[in-house]
Structure 1
Amino acid sequence: MVKTEVLIIGCGIAGATAALQLALDPGRQITVITRASDLHESNSRYAQGGIVSRNSDDSAELLTADILAAGAGASSPIAARILAEEGPPLLEEILVRMAGIPFDRDADGQLIWGQEAAHSRRRILHVGDGTGQAIISGLIAALRRCPNVTIVPDATAVDLITFPHHSRDPLAVYRPITCHGAYVFNRREVTVHRYLSAATMLATGGLGRIYRNTTNPPGARGDGLAMAQRAGARIINAEYVQFHPTALAAPGAEGFLISEAVRGEGGVLLSPDGRAFMADYSPEWKDLAPRDVVARAIHHEMETHGYSHVLLDIASRMPAHAIPARFPNIYATCLQAGIDITREPIPVVPAAHYSCGGVWVDERGRSTIENLYALGEVSCTGVHGANRLASTSLLEGLVWGQRAAQHIENSLNCAALSRLPSPADVPPWDSSGLVAEPDPALIQGDMQTIQNVMWHYVGLVRSADRLSRAVRELRHLWNEIETFYHTSKLSDGLIGLRNAVEVALTVALAARHNRQSRGCHYRQDAASGKGNGLI
């Protein structure tokens, strides 16, 4: 059993930022756990395009307006304003000064500002096309220098410890739901430990792996969202799953993200026969339309004409020597797949990319469960509404990571640990009677079923019939997986499978309930023409 003041589950930009801010108090005890062996592995690591800030010709008002426009009427104006006002100064303070992130600069030492879709100004800071990797490397290096931060790899959170659910006191049922930490599966020891904490932060990332085609890494199974839901937290906007328009469509490299910045630098989408088509769907923005519009346009072209993919042409729009310099990772990955992007267009398809909904939190990252905070993609701050504006997710993780840490710091006192439940109050994990090893064939087969159901029935284009079919199939699968889970020994794969079906069903139910098309939730049978449908 481990006792700590603050338990942070996940170490992407949101979790790492929170840990760094809390660590400024040398007396504070912080524990960060991650299911990965590599501390750098997270959704944040794979962010290519960059992170939004503000240039000299920009303002908080303009950035707020762009966020609200992309959110299709469902973004919180308060949250958007917080991001636009507080984000750029925090970026300078935490990422540049504390973590030393070397954002790209020109020969005169001035920052290079990138353009991305639906932004009215050039306001994207980047490190080539590996911004997420650079940010995470800097943040983890900074965390390693903090003696009061303990980072535990190969540690998969199984469930939150909450009272009254896990309390031995029958009178606890009359008190509000309160989080006291988590049960954590040690992947190396194959054991479950109790981590008791005064405050718990979910920073587990997204859920893209519940879809067949996704840009997300293997750990994006919706773990945090599933745990929060089982504990009774409020979940909102789950239907708003953003599909990135351009994932590489090449054997062996499926799901590799082709950054929005490629279109920001002039890249144009073409049909396989060379026809530019985005003006037909968004005459004003064309190839720089919001992601939901571009993704549905590509889907419509593929479905209508039977294309297996469309093409993204940057070769004829940018000098050949400049392409590898601006997009080194994209250039190298495509070259390995046999595509020279300085000479030929890139085959692309849409893929599940980002969950705009999640665990409801307030302006300080607090959920509806006492002592439980949620940060980053697992949360729903209201910033993204029905469709996320490009390159705002990293900044949201930074801002709410700092805000939640500040709230915890102000709330905790020296008696925090003494208020924790004693080990006798929290039952240890009970795995008695479990002798069956978790069958990897069943785990893989069930996961593929989830992914196919979600892709075909709860994907870019939805309808009542498709969603009802998805709900029926997922409910049946949920029952099968729960039986599998309760009769087998634990493994990371089994934990992820249980979480994936829970989250898939949550998304499908939310999508079926919302009969109006808006942003990245598009219903063929929409009850109203309101919202941003466009196609």
Structure 2
Amino acid sequence: MKTEVLVIGAGISGCISALTAAEKGVEVILLTQGEDLFTGNTRLAQGGIVYTGPEDSPKILENDIRTAGWNYNYSKALRTLTKHGPEALKHILLDKYPVPFAREEDGEYSLTREGGHAVQRILYCADHTGQSIMEVLSKAVISNHNITVCTQRTAIDILTNHHHAKSTEMRYCLSNKCLGAYVYNESINAVETILANYTVLATGGLGQIYLHTTNSTGSIGSGIAMATRAKVRVINSEMVQFHPTAFYQGARSRASRRFLISEAVRGEGAKLINCYGEAFMPRYDPRADLAPRDIVTRSIQEEMLRTGEECVYLDAANHVDHNLSKRFPTIFGRCAEAGIDMDSKPIPVVPAAHYFCGGVLVDDKGKTTLDRLYAVGECSCTGVHGANRLASTSLLEGLLWGYNAGKDIVAQAARKSSLSRKLMDSIPDWDNSSTNTNEDPALIAQDWMLIRSIMWNYVGITRSSARLSRAMYDLQNLNRDLRSFYKRTPLSRPIVDLFHGCQAALSVTAAASKNKESLGCHYRVD
């Protein structure tokens, strides 16, 4: 297949990139791993998206993001987000594709506050903001005749002339270019070659490489793995944010994804308490329950070690004035299913891997270090988040960089800068000469358990040289075995995901090993 733009991933950033280009008449292919556009992390976002309030300003927002990010942020990216983010949100999600954000009785938008924010500035739809955003964007995507949505697709590899071109002449070219991707089509069990003038990585995060995570099942760091193999620059991979409050259903729970208890619950006044009913956060930080996430996460871990308990509790019943079932219907219902009445009982919570602050290095237009390749959303690193993400900034970042990437692609396409037919024709189709019949599900399950256990125990909330050294040794051995397995076995999505997940885990571990300084999400005990 050939297209002007290939977008790999269908969350908020991928959809907005696709829509922005398609609205100007540019042809787009949008890939999603599931059967619809609701399989990524965007739909899981509960709390809200940063906007602006009457007491707010770009400078105040910048200061809050810097504080949460431990001043490890990129100033230019911060100015881009704080100056242009709210106006882009208004243009896209309030005016062009209106999302039903909560309103006050006078019709003005309701604004809430979360940990690390100095003022109320967050738009929300009860506790299902991401789902509401995706419902609006998915309808717009499906109705746009310039966008072809390809479902059940898993990207395998980014195509480049240096690595994939079969023509000797193309290998001598000084400039390396992204030419599209090899893509596994699950519905027909075949690998497709999709050639594109411009490719956008919007593959999301990597929480699923950890034992406990709030992420969707497809969040295994595929964008990081593909970019690394293509020699694209990836930075800040050690900065993995753990959310302090994931619903705890007992040590025997084997759920693939922990249900998130939004930070907005604490934003509305809920308190973290230990098994004795004591509000413990004031002992760890003067901001108490509204401290940045990395501090709250480590405080919970310390409290669990101190008390010997498997979890702590979030008490909303005695501290939140709102009608809990109305303000947090999704959380209220999920707790009720598990036998927890939020109106009378505290919610058992534990930390879980949540957001990847590092990623593929991009500029303010989403351009990477590889020509014709863009990256947007959680798989990218703009420099906005620094060493720790401020709550509800990621949706705004994904929206703005998706919009900027789409606009830049339109500008490039207008210059008629298409790749040559000779270059396109030099890319061969996927080699299907593997000899094995199929993969062994038991081996794949065991390898995933090994990766997740290594990452949770050695490259988790707290890290040390000894733990990281052990993790590198184990992951390098596994990666070597998987490379051999990968080459001799016909492809399937489980095999591609396992290969990508192991490579993403190696990237995080290698970056954590190199960084000897404790900073934000990356906390060294030594």
| Greater shift in the superposed pair: 392-401 or 483-492 | 483-492
Distance 2:90 2:419 in 1: 37
Matches within 5 A, 1:317-356: 317-319=319-321, 322-356=323-357
Counterpart position of 2:262:
259
Distance 2:284 2:346 in 1: 21
Distance 1:23 1:115 in 2: 35
What are the Cα deviations for residues 94-136 of structure 1, in whole angstroms up to 9, with x where unaligned?
A: 1122222000012221111111000000111000000000001
What are the Cα deviations for residues 253-272 of structure 1, in whole angstroms up to 9, with x where unaligned?
A: 66100000000000100011
What are the Cα deviations for residues 64-121 of structure 1, in whole angstroms up to 9, with x where unaligned?
A: 1111111102111111111111111111111122222000012221111111000000
> Does structure 1 conserve the Cα–Cα contact (< 8 Å) formed by 2:70 and 2:520?
yes
Give, in angstroms, the shift of residue 414 of structure 1: 6.8
Distance 1:4 1:506 in 2: 31
Distance 2:422 2:499 in 1: 28
Question: Deviation above 6 Å: which 4+ runs of structure 1?
Answer: none
Return the letter of the residue paired with 2:130: G
2:414 partner SS: coil
2:469 partner SS: helix
| Greater shift in the superposed pair: 496-505 or 137-146 | 137-146
- Sort the Cα spacing of 1:197 and 1:350 in 2 relative to 1 into closer, same or farther, 3 A: same
Matches within 5 A, 1:96-495: 96-171=94-169, 172-251=171-250, 255-283=258-286, 285-319=287-321, 322-413=323-414, 415-417=416-418, 419-421=420-422, 424-495=425-496
- Which structure 2 residue ranges, 5 or more long, are not aligned? none
Matches within 5 A, 1:497-512: 497-512=498-513
Give, in angstroms, the shift of residue 304 of structure 1: 2.6
1:351 partner SS: strand
Return the letter of the residue paired with 1:524: V
Return the letter of the residue paired with 1:209: Q
> Does structure 2 conserve the Cα–Cα contact (< 8 Å) formed by 1:450 and 1:501?
yes
Return the letter of the residue paired with 1:64: E
Give, in angstroms, the shift of residue 7 of structure 1: 0.3
Return the letter of the residue paired with 2:24: D
> Does structure 2 conserve the Cα–Cα contact (< 8 Å) formed by 1:180 and 1:421?
no
Aligned residues: percent identity?
A: 46
Matched, 1:71 2:60: no
1:4 partner SS: strand
When normalised by structure 2's length, the TM-score is: 0.97
Return the letter of the residue paired with 2:236: N
> Does structure 2 conserve the Cα–Cα contact (< 8 Å) formed by 1:44 and 1:133?
yes
> Does structure 1 conserve the Cα–Cα contact (< 8 Å) formed by 2:10 and 2:40?
yes
> Does structure 2 conserve the Cα–Cα contact (< 8 Å) formed by 1:23 and 1:30?
yes
1:38 partner SS: coil
Distance 1:506 1:304 in 2: 32
2:200 partner SS: strand
Distance 1:173 1:376 in 2: 33
What are the Cα deviations for residues 179-223 of structure 1, in whole angstroms up to 9, with x where unaligned?
A: 000001000100001100000000000000000000001000001
Q: How many residues align?
A: 521
- Which structure 1 residue ranges, 5 or more long, are not aligned? 526-535
Return the letter of the residue paired with 2:32: T
Distance 2:424 2:220 in 1: 30
Distance 1:434 1:305 in 2: 54
Return the letter of the residue paired with 1:273: Y
Matches within 5 A, 1:87-102: 87-102=85-100
Instruction: Give the CA RMSD over aligned residues.
Output: 1.3
2:474 partner SS: helix
1:56 partner SS: coil
Return the letter of the residue paired with 1:175: L
Distance 2:117 2:443 in 1: 45
> Does structure 2 conserve the Cα–Cα contact (< 8 Å) formed by 1:99 and 1:141?
no
What are the Cα deviations for residues 30-65 of structure 1, in whole angstroms up to 9, with x where unaligned?
A: 110111112221111100000001011111110011
Return the letter of the residue paired with 1:55: G
